[in-house]
Amino acid sequence: MAARNTRLMRCTPDDLFAVLSDGWLYPVWVVGAARMRDVDAQWPREGSRIHHSLGVWPVMIHDETEIVEWDPPRRLRLRPEAGLLGRGVIRIDVRPRGDGIAVTIVEEPVSGAAALLPSLLWKPMLVARNHECLNRLAFLAEGRRDEREARELDHRTETPDPAEGTPSPQAEEDVREAGV
């Protein structure tokens, strides 16, 4: 029985997959990942791995996560492995929804210490963690959307000459009163 979370995001699948394609961002959106050690040059190709650490210094567990399926704009499947804690499976599904997307994370431990525990213990923890992971992903992906929209708007509007500046209404009134 896997842990499942869904969140609506105000962005495109491309915005989300741009974040997911940057392996160095993994500890920014994955709760518990403390630092990156390396990202395979082939990332995000299937079979490539990212190497990160879990925990808080000085107690760190070296972890690695492999891409099992990379199918933008629909799906990403990952296989994380954290030493004695074991191996898991994570699936991120993306569906268009209104003017944004619905993103679902499904995660389950499949080996190691976590898999030996009853789902009553690990499932609520994964649901809580993945709720925050989705919030962080939304922050990053929606920020990309905002940047993209700002660039598009900037290209559509005429930009005044920076040397001239834009006078405030008060400055224009002061010039009129001074008779300049």
CATH number, domain of 96, equals 3.30.530.20
Residue 149 lies in a domain: yes
Confirm if 13 and 74 have CB atoms less than 8 A apart.
yes
What pLDDT, in 10s, does the model give residues 42-67? 999 999 999 999 888 888 899 999 99
Q: Using one digit for the tens of pLDDT, what is the confidence trace for 66-95?
A: 999 999 999 999 999 988 788 999 999 999
Tell me the pairing of strands 33-39 and 59-71: unpaired
What average pLDDT does this structure show over 157-176? Answer: 63
Number of domains in the chain: 1
Domain ranges, residue 30: 3-154
Residue 33 pLDDT more than 70? Answer: yes
Residue 40 belongs to some domain of the structure: yes
**End-to-end CA separation in angstroms for the chain:** 77
CB-based contacts of 135: which residues, under 8 Å, 6+ apart?
7
Average pLDDT, the chain: 89
Residue 177 lies in a domain: no
Residue 95 lies in a domain: yes
- Evaluate whether residue 112 is within a structural domain: yes
pLDDT of residue 126: 94
Q: Is residue 166 part of a domain?
A: no
- Residue 122 in any domain: the answer is yes
110 within some domain: yes
Nearest to 26 by CA among 68, 80, 107: 80
What is the 3-class SS of 76-105, one letter each residue? Answer: EEEEEECHHHCEEEEEEEEEEECCEEEEEE
